[in-house]
Structures are given as C-alpha cells and as structure tokens.
Amino acid sequence: MERQLVECVPNFSEGKDEKIIDAITTAMLSVKEVRLLDVDMGADFNRTVVTIVGPPNAVVESALRGTKVALDSIDMSIHTGEHARMGAIDVVPFIPVSNINMEECIALAENYGEEAAKRFGLPVYLYAKAARRDDRINLPDIRRGEYESFEEKLGHSDWAPEYGPSIFNSKSGVTATGARSILIAYNVNLDTDNKSITNKIAGKLRSSGILKKDANGEKIIGEDGKAERIPGRFECLQGAGWMYDENTAQVSMNLLDYTITGLHAVTDAIRELASETNNCTTAGELVGLVPLQAILDSGRHYLGHDAEESVLIDNAVKGLQLDQLGDFIIEQRIIEYAAGV
C-alpha cells in the first residue's frame, strides 16, 4: 500500500513571540516522519498558522504535542488580536493529501479531540466535515462571540463540546477540530490594469455569483429578506478581482475542492471570458503549496492523455503559466515533493 499523507494546519493564538512559536514547532517536529511546510506568523492578527504533513497517526500526535506547548505558553485572558479567536490553539483541521479519504480524516479529528480532552481537559468542538450538528459545520458559527463569549456559552447545554468538560478555562479557552478538503489559493493575471474586468470575470465564475439587480441598478431582495444572486459557473470556488501590481489586474481565487473544480477548468474559463474583452492571461500564481493530484489533473488536461508524472507536471506548469512569474520549483510548491514522499 502506498504511503498515506495528511496535512494538518493548526492555528495558534500567538503571532508576536517567536520563542513561543519556535517551542511549539519544535515539539511538533519531535514526532518522527512529520515535516514542517510553513509557519505564517501575523503580528496584527496575533495568530500563527502552522502547516505540517506526514502519516496520519504521526500528524495527530504532532498536533497534540504542539497543543500542550501552546496551552502552557499562551494566556487567552490577556490575548488581543484582529483575527477572530476562541482558544490558545484555536482550530486544528485535518486535510487529505494522498492515499487517504475524508472519512479517515474525520476519524483523525475525532482522535485528536478525544485525546486533547483527555490529556489537557480541553473543551473541543467538531466542525466542517467532522461536524455532528448542522450549526457546527461552519467555523464562524462556533466562533461567534469569540473567546469572551464561551464563559457563558459553556453554561448552556446547547453549547456542550463534543469532547472535554463544559467548563471555561480563562487561560486556554476552547478548540475546534475537523476535516476539510485542501484549499488551493490560485491567481490568474491578465494583460490589463482594469480591475473591473477581473471583477466581472470572478463574479461569473465563483460559486456565489453576482447580485441580481433591477432596471435601476438596485439589488433585488427576495421574500426571505436576502439579496438574490445569480450563481456562478463553478462549485467550490471563491473569487474576486484584485491588482497584482499597478499595471496588472488578476482574478484571485480559492479552490475549495479541486476534485470538483480544478485549476485547468477555472483557467480555461478565465481565458474564454477574457477573450470577450480582447484580453489574455499572462501568468498563473499559486499562493502556498498545491497537492500533486491537482497538478497531474491539469497536466492530463493540457497534454490530452496520460503520461509519466514529470511530463504531466511540465504540461501543467506550461498550461497554467505557472512559470511566468518565476521558476516553478516542485520541491517547494508541490506538497508531496516538499514532504519528501
């Protein structure tokens, strides 16, 4: 059986003290076979996002070791920051990368939650694909009111966590864990400095689409009191028009599930819509790392048939124009290669 690979992206409520984050990542990397892919500290958010990959059980243990250091080092009673937060270790998502399915990642989240509650007395909620209640699928629904609200929330039966005590610990707060698909942040540049062009393209493609408007240009409100929308072309896609630099507008996107909406599909659609305004794409840009399968799917699309992995990667890079803003180094951009799989 091929090696299973899981990504975990724990968010810690500390973005200013490098010593604390170094201690957390050192503990996480003490687990054999776990690789650190990225550490993103944000001082204004006072939050750090750590990305690790490795075999399933090793990744769970790594997250637990990082949790222990975070709980020992971070005091939520004095924490401030711009990002919404509810605990010292705020959220711990598990994401399938290769040879593992979503159900298995849900089990990993449950394992983490159970162990974190047992070892540290931590209240843990399940969200996203691991959620057991509809009102806990979306993380913002759990976070509503943030850290400050949980002293009261935990006193209500409706807010009992899936794991751990319904007791508020002012130092640690609470944690959410779950399973979700990997998110690919992907941008496509056009040969224009007109952001309205990329805004219109994004609106036609993204899942949420655009607002319906009447003859006077006013948004149309439905019977439910909400603005009506015309859905976009793709599922699992967020998008907006941005400026890459003062001369280059881009379509900026998050692909929430590349198995449903792939890199090549949105790229081809952007080219189609850009041609209507006599524009062309000039570059594709990945923000962060991408799973190998997403690149191979695009390689097959642009090549027109299956081939060796290296050939497919080359065709994906060319087809998506990922080499136009700099060299595409697979060991730095593809998760499996960065993880040494």
Together in a domain, 109 and 23:
yes
Please report, for the domain that includes residue 48, its CATH number. Answer: 3.30.990.10
Per residue in 123-164, pLDDT (tens digit) is 999 999 999 999 999 888 999 999 999 999 999 999 999 999
Asked if 133 and 241 sit in the same domain, the reply is: no
Q: Which of 79, 83, 156, 301 is catalytic?
A: 83
For residue 227, the model assigns a pLDDT of 77
**Domain stop point among 179, 198, 217:** 179
What integer pLDDT is reported at residue 341 of this predicted model? 65
Q: Both 140 and 208 in a single domain?
A: no
Q: List CB contacts of 50: < 8 A, sequence separation 6 or more.
A: 9, 10, 11, 12, 21, 24, 25, 28, 36, 38, 39, 40, 66
What pLDDT score was predicted for residue 272?
Answer: 97
Same domain, 37 and 96: yes
Same domain, 123 and 171: yes
What is the residue range of 253's domain? 184-338
Whether 167 and 224 share a structural domain? no
Spans in the chain with pLDDT lower than 70: 1, 341
Give catalytic status of residue 83 as yes or no: yes
pLDDT at 125: 98
State the pLDDT at residue 1: 55
> Does 61 share its domain with 140?
yes
Residue 329 · residue 289 · CB < 8 Å: no
Do 14 and 60 sit in the same domain of this protein? yes
Burial class for 305, CB neighbours closer than 10 Å (0-12, 13-18, 19+): exposed
Do 283 and 312 belong together in one domain? yes
The answer to whether residues 274 and 244 belong to one domain is yes
pLDDT at 35: 93
Q: CATH no. for residue 212?
A: 3.30.70.670
